[in-house]
A and B are shown apart, each in its own frame.
Chain A
């Protein structure tokens, strides 16, 4: 069975400092990984997906199959990045997402 682990429940980072939100997964096949974000009083929304290989709001994430990780990174944190971040896994032919428990990121001004 697949599982997603986000080891940090809370993460505080100073504005302008680099951010890394950790995500590890367990799945024996070829996964598809996502990062979803929930800003205060907003609905959960897709931030980025690994197959797109794009940078959204300055965030990037690289799938590392050797380490089974999909860490989310941003070189310079901004105050508006404060939110709840969820890593999610989708497996081919199985449309339901498996979510991690989330990391609450707080950017300190």
Chain B
């Protein structure tokens, strides 16, 4: 079946503008994650959604970052008033969320460049 998809694949924006990144998880996956990968660094956890539970927002770096998820489907990550340090690849992953931990399936990422 189809894997996790993300759009756009690339986004170039000017400092101060807002951007919205989209993630379509694998159908039936109840858990959805957003990560950020800055150049030369590892993946940094941003936010986690699980079903109808309150999301785990503990990784969001500032209040300029927010994310929503509609039920168990699409999620959007919004960055307001973008800064140059927001430039990174933003990765989305989904999983079945089996007890004891499960495999996360990653999308291709959105490369964000803030000029």
Bound-state Cα–Cα, A12 to B97, Å: 36
Stretch at the interface among B19-27, B68-76, B100-108: B100-108
Residue pair B42, A97 in contact (C-beta under 8 Å): no
Interface footprint category on A: 20 to 34
Which residues of chain A come closer than 8 Å to B67, judged between CB atoms?
none
Determine which of A36, A90, A98 lies in contact with B101 in the assembled complex, contact meaning CB atoms within 8 Å.
A90
Determine which of B42, B44, B101, B107 lies in contact with A95 in the assembled complex, contact meaning CB atoms within 8 Å.
B101
Residue pair A43, B43 in contact (C-beta under 8 Å): no
Contact with B along A1-40 (1 / 0, CB 8 A): 0001010000000000000000000000000100010000
Q: Does A46 contact B (CB under 8 A)?
A: yes
Interface footprint category on B: 20 to 34
Q: A95-B101, A96-B33 are in contact. Are A44 and B106 (CB under 8 A)?
A: yes
Determine which of A32, A43, A92, A99 lies in contact with B42 in the assembled complex, contact meaning CB atoms within 8 Å.
A99
CB-based nearest B residue for A98? B45
Which residues of chain B come closer than 8 Å to A6, judged between CB atoms?
42
Q: Does B14 contact A (CB under 8 A)?
A: no
Residue pair A92, B56 in contact (C-beta under 8 Å): no
Residue pair A95, B48 in contact (C-beta under 8 Å): yes
Bound-state Cα–Cα, A36 to B95, Å: 15
Residue pair A46, B33 in contact (C-beta under 8 Å): no
Residue pair A43, B104 in contact (C-beta under 8 Å): no
Contact with B along A84-105 (1 / 0, CB 8 A): 0010101010011111111000
User: What are 28 of the A-B contact pairs (CB < 8 Å)?
Assistant: A6-B42, A32-B101, A43-B3, A43-B4, A43-B107, A43-B109, A44-B43, A44-B91, A46-B103, A49-B103, A51-B100, A86-B42, A88-B43, A90-B101, A92-B101, A95-B31, A95-B48, A95-B56, A95-B97, A96-B33, A96-B45, A96-B56, A97-B43, A97-B45, A97-B104, A100-B42, A101-B40, A101-B41
